[in-house]
Amino acid sequence: MTQQTVENLEARVKELEAQVQDYQKQLIQAQKMSSVGALASSITHEFNNILTTVINYAKLGLRHKEEERRDKAFTKILSAGQRAAKITTGMLSYARGNESRQEPVDLVVLVKSVIALVEKDLSMNRVNLHTHFDAQPEVTLNPNQIQQVLVNLIVNARQAMPGGGRLDLAVRVNAESNLAEVIVRDSGSGIPPEQLHHIFEQFYTTKEADENGQGGTGLGLSLAKEVMEAHNGRIRVESAIGKGTAFTLKFPLSAAAIEAA
C-alpha cells in the first residue's frame, strides 16, 4: 500500500467521522424536539389558561373604578404574565442548539426550571409531583444538556404511568463521595430485568411509539449516559416490576461547594 493510498484512507476516515458526529448531533436535536412535542399540548393548554386569566382580569380592571379592585386585577395580570414568561424562557432555553460550555449552576434552580416546563403535562396526565430538596448544591455543568436529560427522564416516567401515579424529584448531597444527586422516581410499571441491562444502548427502547410518534426513538437514555459521562458523572437505574423505576444522576460537586461543605 503506497503512502498516497494511506493518506487517502486517513482522509476518508476523518471525513466519515465528521459525518457520524454531524448525524449524531442531528439525532440528539431530533430527540429533543420529540420531547418538546410530548409537552406541546400541555404548554398550549397552559398558555390558554394564562390568556383567559389576563383577559378576564383586564375586563375586571376596566369595569371597576375602585383602586382596590384595579390593584387586584393588575396583580393577577402581572402574575399570569410572569408565569408565561417563565414557561417561554424555559422552553427557549431547552430548545436552543447544543452548546459545550459548562458553568457553575445551583442544581435546585435547574430542577425547578425543568418543573416549570413539565408540571402542567404531569397534571393533565394525573401524575402527582412531589419534590424533595435536601440540599442546594452547586455543580459545574451544561444547563441545556442536563435540562434535556431531566425532561426526557420525566416524560419517560409519565409514559410509564398511563393511568396516573406519583413522580418524586429529589436533590441531595452525598458528602462522603463529594457528589450531588438528582433522583427521578416514578410509581409506574417498572422495567423487566432482562431489559434493564440494555436501556442505555442507542436505539434500544422498551416501548412502542404512540399515535403521535412519541416515546419510541431509543435515543433518550443513551444520550443521558453520554451527557453524564461528559460531566464526569454517572447515571444509575433501579427498577421493580409493578413498583416503579428510579434514575439517579450523580455529579461531582464544584470546588466551591466542596469548600463550603
Parse the chain into domains and list their residue ranges.
3-91, 102-259
H helices of the chain, in order, are: 3-63, 67-95, 107-124, 143-159, 193-196, 220-230, 255-260
Q: What is the pLDDT of residues 79-98, one digit of tens each?
A: 888 888 877 777 776 666 55
- What is the C-alpha to C-alpha distance for residues 127 and 115, in angstroms, rounded to an integer? 13
pLDDT in tens, 236-255: 999 999 899 999 999 998 86
**The listed CATH number (3.30.565.10, 3.40.50.10800, 3.30.465.10, 3.20.20.300) that belongs to domain 102-259:** 3.30.565.10
Instruction: Give the pTM.
Output: 0.72
d(CA 179, CA 174): 5
